[in-house]
Amino acid sequence: MSEKGTDTAVTIVLNALETAKEWRSSIYVSSWDIRRAFDSLSRPYQIACLMRVGVDEDVARYLVEMDGGGRIAIKSPINERANLRKDWDEVEEEGFVFTAERGTGQGDPISPLIFLCCIDPLLVALEAVKEGDFITSGARKKKN
């Protein structure tokens, strides 16, 4: 979470683990690093996830690729002097413009929905985890 440290979260997790041990009960922990998650989704994956929840393939492809090929300018003090409407080529020549090859558009109303459709298969996969399983970095190991 923005402007939040891990110091208080770690204390909460440690307390929960100690309580579970003391009460001899099960505890389930899941940690997800979804920082820059909107930027990391491949377009084919987004399309497949939308289709998974019932969106027609043509509509899914349209929603995902509607901003494809669009040029994006990086806002910085260095290129602030250029008026992007008049000097776009100058800004592009200086290397401040790129075309996104992956990720979902940010700032448009459909992006959060696409992101939720893409995170859903991962959450459904958590339901398959059985008690005692330990999963990390794609490897599955049984707890001793």
136 lies in a domain? yes
From first CA to last CA, the distance across the chain in angstroms is 34
User: Residue 98 forms beta bridges with which residues?
Assistant: 72
138 lies in a domain? yes
Phi-psi region of 140 (alpha: psi -120 to 50; beta: other; left: phi over 0): beta
- Tens digit of each residue's pLDDT (9 = 90 or more) over 108-137: 788 888 888 988 998 888 777 776 665 555
- Domain containing 106 equals 7-142
1 lies in a domain? no
pLDDT top residue among 105 and 56: 56
115 lies in a domain? yes
Phi-psi region of 36 (alpha: psi -120 to 50; beta: other; left: phi over 0): left
Average pLDDT, the chain: 75
84 lies in a domain? yes
- Tens digit of each residue's pLDDT (9 = 90 or more) over 67-81: 776 666 666 666 665
User: Residue 135 forms beta bridges with which residues?
Assistant: 140
Alpha carbon 73 to chain centroid distance? 22
75 lies in a domain? yes
104 lies in a domain? yes
Q: Does residue 55 carry a pLDDT above 90?
A: yes
95 lies in a domain? yes
Q: What is the count of structural domains for the chain? A: 1
